[in-house]
Chains A and B, each alone.
Chain A
Amino acid sequence: MKIQEYNTIKYLLTDAIGHLVLDQPPSNKMTLAFFDELNHLVQSVGETEGIKGMVISGNGRHFSSGTDLQGILNEIEQKAISDDSNRPVHVPDFLLKNYSSLRIIEQLSIPVVAAIRGACLGSAMELALFSHFRFCSEDAVFGLPESTFNLIPGLGGILKVSHLSGKAKTMELILGGNTFPASDALKFKLVDKILPKKELISKSIFFARSVSSGYRKEKRKLYLKNFF
């Protein structure tokens, strides 16, 4: 059942499991329009009666290559009010809204699984990190390349990586900015499980459903152990 029309997202609700598909192939770039629609969607998910879980994936070969950098730079330049020293005294609302979307996902009381194929870079990786579980295919590629553009991850990426992988690895990954394969992501504890590509989505949906009854985020490790 398709319940809401979006331009950049395909959202399906099937047997009480919501499936959010980033839908701007091939790279599913996270444009300003996407972030607006994401915000609308995640707010409505919490109010969907009877919903039991959510899976997030990308349309086509990739999860997403991350933010539309030039778009966001232009928007910040227009919206951030600068003082004389060219420093923003005010963080534009749209940026706060973007990260509050991720916080809403993190705090949902239903399991949220990111199912990652192909590229998962920058803000896309942050979206995955705010999901409750991360499964990926063998060909998935991860990275927070922001520092190579003289930026930092701006949506909680540093905090999330530091929590999962420790401070040393965070400094290495974020200051280095290099991409890394699924096997490293697993080793760094940034993904929970590598699955065969063909089963990735179906297993993720099945997993979300199977942990949905009496779901509690604190039991994360136990759910993973029992399922796999």
Chain B
Amino acid sequence: MDRIGWEIRNDIGIITIDNPPENYLEKPDFVPLEVLKKWTSYDYLRGLLITGTGKQFSGGGKLECLFSMINAKEDISAKISAGKKVLDFIENLNIPVISAIQGICFGGGLEIALACHIRICSENALFAFPETNFNLIPGLGGIIRSQELIGLPKSLKMILSGDMINAEDALEMKLVDFVVPKQKLFEFSFNFLLKITRDRPLEVIHAVMEVLRDARTLSVEDALKNETRLFCELALAEAGRRKSQE
């Protein structure tokens, strides 16, 4: 397993990619799914924050690691698929997930950021998919996720050119949701998560996240129906609560 930190503060889980200085990722599943499931199984968790140690978010996967896996005749496709499962799990979590991105956010690092629901970065952040420079492609769903987020033309340009994008441009093209000063990044991101979750019952948070997931995975008709069903469940609970207060 990669060096990854985990702690819970005010019911917010914090995952820290802890392999400084560049926070390179050694495996596609930077946190094994079983570990991540265990961490997030804490019932009171209201949000998740993903960040990196030190000056960088993550430089992504290390090419040498990939080649040494190939040389060792490891099953690459199984590794990639494990990595995809981890990112899908993060994306499908029923609590808000924010990535707080400082410095470089390349390749696999960007794949992780794209699986989060909200991206907040520092003014000095840099984003890139450098894979095509090495005759590879982003392999963990980044092509699809970036296309959904910033549209096909920008996504194509970013992936095929491998060019770096700075924080200002990333905000402009909606690759990130907020840009804040470097010193304030963690505090802002953590407080943002607290602010949007603190006063809400967990059922409401879970319901909102479920509808947002439906928006991605279901037809409009089915997503709308499920939204109404969730509303109905919450309304019944609320009606009961009001009655008991009478």
- Chain A: minimal CB distance from B206 (Å): 10
Q: Is the CB of B233 within 8 A of A88?
A: yes
What are the interface flags for A149-190 relative to B under an 8 Å C-beta threshold, 1 for contact and 0 otherwise? 111111110110011001111111011100000000000000
- Chain A: minimal CB distance from B55 (Å): 24
Stretch at the interface among B5-13, B130-138, B223-231: B223-231
- B164 close to chain A: CB less than 8 A: no
Stretch at the interface among A48-56, A74-82, A206-214: A74-82
Complex Cα distance A175/B196, Å? 5
Complex Cα distance A151/B234, Å? 6
- Considering the complex, give the chain A residue whose CB is closest to the CB of B98: A168
Q: Is the CB of B239 within 8 A of A77?
A: yes
Point out the residues of chain A lying under 8 angstroms from B214, CB to CB: 159
Point out the residues of chain B lying under 8 angstroms from A174, CB to CB: 208
Q: Is the CB of B200 within 8 A of A147?
A: yes
In chain B between 171 and 210, which residues have their CB closer than 8 angstroms to a CB of chain A? 174, 177-178, 192, 195-197, 199-201, 203-205, 207-208
Point out the residues of chain B lying under 8 angstroms from A149, CB to CB: 238
- B237 close to chain A: CB less than 8 A: yes
- Are A150 and B118 also in contact (CB < 8 A) when A91-B229, A158-B211, A162-B212 are? no
Task: State the total of A-B contacts with C-beta under 8 angstroms.
Answer: 125
Q: Is the CB of B224 within 8 A of A171?
A: no
Q: Is the CB of B195 within 8 A of A159?
A: no
Q: Is the CB of B211 within 8 A of A152?
A: yes
> How many of chain A's residues have a CB under 8 angstroms from any CB in B?
40
- B242 close to chain A: CB less than 8 A: yes
Query: Pick the contact of B195 from A82, A147, A176 — CB < 8 Å?
Result: A176
Q: Is the CB of B224 within 8 A of A80?
A: no
Q: Is the CB of A172 within 8 A of B211?
A: no
Point out the residues of chain A lying under 8 angstroms from B199, CB to CB: 148
Q: Is the CB of B224 within 8 A of A103?
A: yes
Complex Cα distance A166/B150, Å? 11
Query: Pick the contact of A96 from B200, B220, B228 — CB < 8 Å?
Result: B228
Q: Is the CB of B223 within 8 A of A159?
A: yes
Point out the residues of chain A lying under 8 angstroms from B200, CB to CB: 147, 150, 175
Query: Interface of A with B (CB < 8 Å)?
Result: 72-74, 76-77, 80, 82, 86-88, 91-92, 95-96, 99, 103, 147-156, 158-159, 162-163, 166-172, 174-176
28 A-B pairs, CB-CB below 8 angstroms?
Answer: A73-B235, A73-B242, A76-B232, A76-B239, A80-B236, A86-B236, A87-B236, A91-B225, A91-B229, A96-B225, A96-B228, A150-B200, A150-B201, A150-B238, A152-B204, A152-B208, A154-B230, A159-B211, A166-B177, A167-B117, A167-B118, A168-B117, A168-B118, A168-B119, A168-B177, A171-B196, A171-B212, A176-B195
